[in-house]
Amino acid sequence: MADISLPAVASRRILIRLLVNSQFLTELVLKHPDYLRRLTESRRLAEVRSRDEFLTDLRLAACEAESDAIDAIRRTQRWELLRIAACDCFGLMDLRRITLQLSLLADATIQAVLEVATEGVARSVSGSGVPLTVVALGKLGGEELNYSSDIDLLFLSDSPDAGTLKIAQQLVRELGRMTGEGFLYRVDMRLRPWGRSGPWWRTSPPTENTWKRTLPRGKLQSWSRPGSSPGPVGRRPSVG
């Protein structure tokens, strides 16, 4: 991969215009001035990262956090959002790569938060060993996420117990919780195949016909909590 740094593709005037024209980027850089330095010095700004690469950095941030692991995850996710947005503004990635990077970042972030939530619940609730799978629908499921997209989730578990229920609730809460670092994602639980008024849970995977009726694009994304893997984490089943 060729080295691409911000000074090589944009003048200082363009950088200032980027900050002025984007409230989100302006606030982010003002809160974390080191992000601007990282942008201007990065030699791998336009790197197309994999889900595992995002997840490795998010896990490392959570492990190294002195207090709030979720806030550490937020800071890492914010830096990656800024990097992707800069590539978007400077034409370093096309639209497909931008939406793919945003989707893979969200994918990895959900997995990282799920792991933190599982660890926290395990310390306070006994009997939380029931397998849990989190499934993304909509734009995230189809890897078409944009900067302002909600994420649509549902949960699959054979027999959810108190611990499993608490993990799911904690995951949704932490993804949407507003702190000094902002929030990660707005979570929408209404795009469930059995209707908005139905439960968050399904005790068995919906049939192929159910997915076809409710999800015309037929694309899913799934995660498993640590230690319980009904299928490969990150699998994207296609129903045609």
> What phi, psi does 206 have (nearest 5°)?
-60, 150
**Cα 84–Cα 88–Cα 90 angle in degrees, nearest 5:** 115
Helix (H) or strand (E) holding 16: helix 12-21
Rg of the chain (C-alpha set): 19
pLDDT in tens, 81-132: 999 988 888 888 999 999 999 999 999 999 999 999 988 887 776 655 667 7
Contact 18, 45 (CB under 8 A): no
Q: So where are the chain's domains? A: 6-224
At 56, is the pLDDT very low, low, confident or very high (cuts 50, 70, 90)?
Answer: very high
SS3 state of residue 239: coil
What is 6-224's CATH number?
Answer: 3.30.460.10
pLDDT in tens, 187-230: 987 765 555 665 566 565 555 555 444 454 434 455 544 433 33
Place of tokens 């499934």: 135
Q: What is the DSSP letter of 158?
A: S
pLDDT in tens, 132-163: 788 888 888 889 999 988 998 888 877 777 78
What's 117-142 look like in SS3? HHHHHHHHCCCCCCCCEEEEEHHHHC
